[in-house]
Amino acid sequence: MFATSHAPSLYGNLPDNVDPSAGEPLELHQKHGVVPPSLSTNGGRSVLKRLCDEADLKIDRDYLKPYGARRGVGEAIYREHGAAAAQRVLRHADPRTTSQMHAHIETEELAEETSEIFGNE
């Protein structure tokens, strides 16, 4: 879901004919149409630990884990852009996986709609 910012990984991913001194690694990837490598699980943990520390977040078990962050991203996309967009971003092969994972959102939305209808009576 996220590209790494680990410079050795980025430079190592560039084709041999690209001069690494010609620019920043992500810019070189874009310029040459090369997909940068993904952030590793350990890299994701490191970033999340740093962000939690900087924000002074108090989270059970030390820091927000990659799975929790991924789920949060999926939920935000599901709420803003719908199930199909969340499925694409989360790379769920089966739409039912996305729907099951975010069924609580549909339940909340139905409860709100029902309250709006009957709230005036």
Q: How far apart are CA 2 and CA 76, in angstroms?
A: 16
Give 38's DSSP letter: B
Looking at residue 66, its pLDDT comes to: 83
Q: Are 34 and 15 in contact (CB under 8 A)?
A: yes
Q: How far apart are CA 54 and CA 40, in angstroms?
A: 21
Looking at residue 106, its pLDDT comes to: 74
Token pair belonging to 34 = 């090369």
Looking at residue 30, its pLDDT comes to: 92
> Where is pLDDT greater, at 55 or 108?
55
Token pair belonging to 87 = 């499925």
Report which of 119, 3, 114 is spatially closest to residue 13, judged by C-alpha positions: 3
Domain spans of the chain, in order of start: 1-39, 41-118
Instruction: For residue range 23-81, list pLDDT tens digits in order.
Output: 999 999 999 999 999 988 898 889 889 988 999 887 777 788 888 888 888 889 988 99
Looking at residue 12, its pLDDT comes to: 92
Looking at residue 16, its pLDDT comes to: 93
- Per cent of the chain over pLDDT 70 is 98
Provide the greatest CA pair distance for the chain: 72
